[in-house]
Amino acid sequence: MEITEEIAHIQGMPKKLVVFLHGYIDCAQGIEKTISDYIPRLHDCALHIPQAPIICEIHEKRRQWYSMHRFDPDDARKYVPTMRECASIYNKMTLGFEESFEYLNPYLDNLLQEYQLEDKDLYLCGFSQGAMLAIYTALMREKEIAGCVSFSGIMAPYKYLEQHAKSTPPFLLIHGDADNLVRFAALKFTKQKLEKLGAEVSTVAIKDGLHQITSEGLEKATYFITTGKLPADED
């Protein structure tokens, strides 16, 4: 399996590569529309929004990076009472992340080669399932990337990553405090796990934020990508 579809926006002479991964039951076009106002601000950047190669299991016109129902058929991760129980369900998805990494990682290598850039020039962003895969990939790359931005994500599968992470780039974690799909507690959980690995982490809690990408979050992400500096912690 490989990534064969994408949306690309090139600003000037690319000195940075930004790759944004869409979420579950979503598509590249959806992310492009959401971040459209911020694309022109990514000066001297190549922005690529890859389309997940798997048709979504519950919506034939959308995509997924891996099957959620294969590992959590009842969506229990959304309803179990504790963060610990929720994280244990994501731990069961290790194979899904491994399989996704197998086709995302060479895609990133090819893009870097195309623009004659290096891992230190790569920012990996994602929303929801795409954020989880972005975090996973950022930790599993052989060389450290410039940074990773997670919108409504979680470090999953954390037990596997605690044992196998290969690099620890800086992370910007953005999460709505009213998120009903990926619980808000995932923000603190992910920060603690990443810092335990030695990563620099900044968090942004979106007041009354639902499971979505907000303009406030995009402002913080744009700042991080364009300056190379993490914004001040706001959790």
Please list the pLDDT of the chain residue by residue as tens digits (235 residues). Answer: 899 999 999 988 999 999 999 999 999 999 999 999 999 999 999 999 999 999 999 999 999 999 999 999 999 999 999 999 999 999 999 999 999 999 999 999 999 999 999 999 999 999 999 999 999 999 999 999 999 999 999 999 999 999 999 999 999 999 999 999 999 999 999 999 999 999 999 999 999 999 999 999 999 999 999 999 999 877 6
* Residue 233 belongs to a domain: no
Q: Nearest Cα to 127, choosing from 40, 56, 32, 43?
A: 32
Residue 47 parent element (H or E): strand 45-50
Range of the domain at 108: 6-227
Q: What is the radius of gyration, based on Cα positions, of the chain?
A: 16
For residue 235, being part of any structural domain is answered with: no
- Residue 1 maps to a domain: no
Residue 222 located in a structural domain: yes
How many whole angstroms from its chain centre is CA 180? Answer: 18
Give me the number of domains the chain comprises: 1
39 assigned to some structural domain: yes
Report whether 21 contacts 50 (CB < 8 A): yes
195 domain residue, yes or no: yes
Contact between 141 and 111 (Cβ < 8 Å)? no
What pTM was estimated for this model as a whole?
0.97
State the CATH number of the domain containing residue 125. Answer: 3.40.50.1820
The CA distances from residue 188 to 36, 60, 175, 194, 205, in Å, are 29, 34, 10, 10, 10
For residue 36, tell me if it sits in a domain.
Answer: yes
Asked if residue 211 lies in contact with residue 152, where contact means CB atoms within 8 angstroms, the answer is: yes
